[in-house]
Structure 1
Amino acid sequence: MDELLAKAMQGVDPDAPGAFWQVFLNLMRLVPWAALFWWSLLFVAVGALLGWWRGRLAEGVAWAVVLGPIGWIVVLARPRVARPPPLPPRAGRHGGGV
């Protein structure tokens, strides 16, 4: 914990008016942003695939964006979209009869 605190406080004067923002920026520099981006992209792709499989593509993407892999469980827990049976073919072009 002391090492993290030392990295956060590196080059910061605690009495300066902008000390909070400097500590905040130092902490944000420690976050592995590229890895987070690629993992998020993977979560959304799997969510889209599961949503497409369940007939809920947009919902699968939305849940994956909001909850990550937990969103996959939400999509899988929801029932499939029921599709109505196809309509019978029409008898004639004008519907027949007068």
Structure 2
Amino acid sequence: MDELLAKASQGVDPDSPDAFLHIYLNLLNLMPWAAMFWWSVAFVVVGAAVGWFRGRVVEGIVWSATLGPIGWIVILMKPVRRPRAGPPPLK
């Protein structure tokens, strides 16, 4: 924890009015943004594939973009959507 605090407060004057902003930006710089982006893309691609097999491509993309791998489970729990064989019945 001391190392994280040292990295976050590196080059920050604690008495300055924007010290919180600088500490916050230092913490954001420690995040692996590229890896997080590519993992998110992979989750959405797999979600689209699962949705395609279940007949729910858009739902697969939305659920996996929102919840990641948990979105896959949401799509797998929904029933398979079958296309209709013909026109709708007349009343």
TM-score normalized with structure 2 length: 0.91
* Structure whose alpha-carbon radius of gyration is higher: 1
2:82 maps to 1:82: yes
User: Structure 1: how far apart are the matches of 2:22 and 2:44?
Assistant: 33
Q: For residue 24 of structure 1, what is the aligned residue in structure 2?
A: 24
Secondary structure at 1:44 match in 2: helix
Dislocated runs of 4+, deviation >6 Å: none
Classify the secondary structure of the residue corresponding to 2:10: coil
> 1 or 2, which has the higher helix percentage?
2
What residue is the counterpart of 1:6 in the other structure?
A: 6
Q: Which runs of 5+ in 2 are unaligned?
A: none
Gaps of 5+ in 1: 88-98
For residues 25-52 of structure 1, the C-alpha deviation after alignment (integer angstroms, 9 at most, x for no partner) is 0000000001001100000000000011
Aligned CA RMSD, in angstroms, stands at 0.9
Which segment is superposed worse, 33-42 or 75-84? 75-84
**Structure 1 Cα separation of the partners of residues 20 and 79 of structure 2:** 48
Counterparts of 1:5 and 1:29, CA distance in 2: 13
Question: 2 CA distance for matches of 1:15 and 1:74?
Answer: 49
